[in-house]
Amino acid sequence: MQPFTATPAEAVRSLGELGLIAAIRRWLGTASPPEPFGIGDDCAVLPASRHRQLVTVDPVVYGEHFDDSIPPRAVAAKLLKRNLSDIAAMGGRPRAAVIALALDETVSRRWLEQFYRGLAATARTYAVTIVGGDITRQKGGLAATLTLLGEVNGPRVLTRKGAKTGDWIFVTGTLGGSILGHHHRFTPRLAEGAWLAARREVRSLIDVSDGLAKDLPALAPTNAIPSLCPPAIPISAAARTLAQRDGRTALAHALSDGEDFELLFTVAARADRAALATAWRKKFRTRLTCIGRFTRTLEAGALPLDEFKGYEHLR
Amino acid sequence: MQPFTATPAEAVRSLGELGLIAAIRRWLGTASPPEPFGIGDDCAVLPASRHRQLVTVDPVVYGEHFDDSIPPRAVAAKLLKRNLSDIAAMGGRPRAAVIALALDETVSRRWLEQFYRGLAATARTYAVTIVGGDITRQKGGLAATLTLLGEVNGPRVLTRKGAKTGDWIFVTGTLGGSILGHHHRFTPRLAEGAWLAARREVRSLIDVSDGLAKDLPALAPTNAIPSLCPPAIPISAAARTLAQRDGRTALAHALSDGEDFELLFTVAARADRAALATAWRKKFRTRLTCIGRFTRTLEAGALPLDEFKGYEHLR
């Protein structure tokens, strides 16, 4: 849907600021608790918690993360799920979100209604409350920035640091070709992330959002490089479809395309990988693949990852 | 300073995404703690706290909240202080912030450096840590959205609700004419807000960000209206200057101009107002004025507030 309208009566400007805030409360419904725990005061108030808190922020920007071809409900779902994937990548549990909207006054009320209703639906699915936000005019623009708060319930926060040379590298799901639809239809791996944080043999964790080739180096221990086994890389059907269209290899798409939102983690060299895989399959239907390990030098037959590039945000 | 540059070598694009993130870490310096408590992982981690948490979000958008005439350090200070004023308006203490930047690739490195250095300086002044963020391209745009987390240390969160008919209305500082400089030079009333939250006779609190005429009704009890005493309204020198220029009254500027960032609160009808004022003066040099009270009908000589309008965000 085109977010902008040339018809003044259909534009958000016709609602006015207070009218828009009232409409947003209505559209969010039960996804937004009563103030002061939700929208309506200078700050939202969150009850005290005994757990460590997590914070992450990610936007969706018109022309960058979505266009007229993506339904507004899907734009909102993508916005929240991008952030949920970051909580998953720490083994955390999501809690509450605030959303700042910057928009031209010609954005249509219909687009906004669908956007907020989509946000509410996704928030309810993942037990997140929308506790506050802001609306600002931005000439010619449309962007929504969501800050998600979460918490760590278990004894451990799983960070990007912690891998050692020799550690095995695992990835969930399949990779590449996200632009064909996965980029807004994906499922954040929250249950998987929390489960991994409770497994002692798992030593580091990240989500793949800019492509494996760009994100994997963040897990590399000092003086080690990833030796990946090319046939093991789980290539998505979409990556194969894209490869047929553009002449690049499906593997290149799997390594370089952004917005997979899968989990990438390392497992101690001496861990029982078969036991891990068995325990995983008892719990999840999500595909799990060991794709290589961190080594001092590139192993024979391993993939030279430097030849692939991930998504560059300032291109 | 003009944020955009026509010289490719001076533009942020020439840094690349990873180069920019490294530069931001450098510019923020000690204002950003080491990961996982600061920038660098999928989420920032905040230590557990026994207190209720506060969350607020506010952006600064080029063309709306700042222009070429405002130094980038002042833009950053304004961004953080706008949010600090919201924490002050709940009687809270600020804790940590995340910042999402959406920008055209032609934004200059020099502008950004000054912006982040200004953010760091303001963060250190108010004991806030910058724990994370995001950078996204936005064609032709420049906007920064800051989410601020705080906590309530005392037994009470002071909200907008709580005033009763008969309550006295107080305001800090002077009002109006913010556009002449106060809109980025103001001091968020954090100490004052925390002090007010500890005073039992204070029943509700808000910060004046869209003009007194627009913000005061949010404190009104059911079936009551504000009866303001016109000569009591603390009019700023800037409001008087503006009035001389544009022919509107200084009072109209004091009631309608946005971005005062002063505190507005109500005090129980039977409270000892003199004792409150004395205790205030022992603690603060900030001006404090009783401007009227909430009544069932407009008192004789009181100001008909409906004739004034505050700042409209979707105009």
- DSSP conformation class of B303: B
- The dihedral built from the CA positions of residue A307, A313, B3 and B5, taken in this order, carries a sign that is positive
- For residues B301 and B203, the answer to whether their CB atoms sit within 8 Å is no
Tens-place pLDDT, residues A214-229: 999 999 999 999 999 9
Tens-place pLDDT, residues A80-100: 999 999 999 999 999 999 999
pLDDT greater than 90 at residue A59:
yes
Out of 3.40.50.1220, 2.40.160.150, 1.10.15.40, 3.30.1330.10, select the CATH number for domain A8-152.
3.30.1330.10
CA distance B20 to B78: 22
In the structure encoding, which two tokens stand for residue B64, read together? Answer: 């709306």
Q: Give the B window 76-95 contacts with A, CB below 8 Å.
A: 85-87, 89-90, 92
Nearest-CB residue to B55 (from A20, A131, A145): A131
Entry pTM: 0.94
Residues of B in contact with A105 (CB under 8 A): 314-315
Beta-carbon separation of B147 and A98 below 8 A: yes
β-bridge mates for residue B93, sequence order? B151
Could you state, in chain order, the average pLDDT of each consecutive group of 10 residues for chain B (315 residues)? Answer: 94 90 95 86 93 96 94 97 98 97 96 98 97 94 97 91 97 97 96 96 97 95 95 97 96 95 98 97 98 95 83 68
What pLDDT is stored for residue B40 in this prediction? 86
CA distances from B141 to A121, A142, B117 (A): 30, 10, 21
The strand order across the sheet containing A129-137 reads A129-137, A93-103, A142-152, A52-61, B44-46
* CATH architecture, range A168-307: Alpha-Beta Complex (3.90)
Residue A105 in contact with partner chain B when CB distance is under 8 A: yes
Residue B131: CB partners within 8 Å, gap ≥ 6? A55, B32, B33, B37, B38, B39, B44, B46, B96, B97, B98
Q: What percent of chain A has pLDDT over 90?
A: 90
The ranges assigned to domains in chain A are 8-152, 168-307
What pLDDT is stored for residue B315 in this prediction? 59
Residue A160 in contact with partner chain B when CB distance is under 8 A: yes
Residue B237 in contact with partner chain A when CB distance is under 8 A: no
Check for a shared fold between A8-152 and A168-307: no
- Among residues B99, B2, B136, B64, the alpha carbon closest in space to that of A143 is found at B136
Nearest-by-CA chain B residue for A12? B314
Residues of A in contact with B59 (CB under 8 A): 100, 102, 134, 136, 145
Beta-carbon separation of B313 and A17 below 8 A: yes
Q: Give the lowest-confidence range in A17-21, A276-280, B78-82, B186-190.
A: A17-21
What pLDDT is stored for residue A16 in this prediction? 87
φ, ψ dihedrals at B8, nearest 5°: -55, -40
Tens-place pLDDT, residues A28-54: 999 999 877 888 899 999 999 999 999
Shortest Cα distance, chain A CAs vs residue B297, angstroms: 24
Tens-place pLDDT, residues B182-231: 999 999 999 999 999 999 999 999 999 999 999 999 999 999 999 999 99
Chains A and B form CB pairs within 8 A to the count of 237
Nearest-CB residue to B56 (from A43, A57, A89): A43
Beta-carbon separation of B54 and A44 below 8 A: yes
What pLDDT is stored for residue B35 in this prediction? 78
Q: What percent of chain B has pLDDT over 70?
A: 99
Tens-place pLDDT, residues A227-241: 999 999 999 999 999
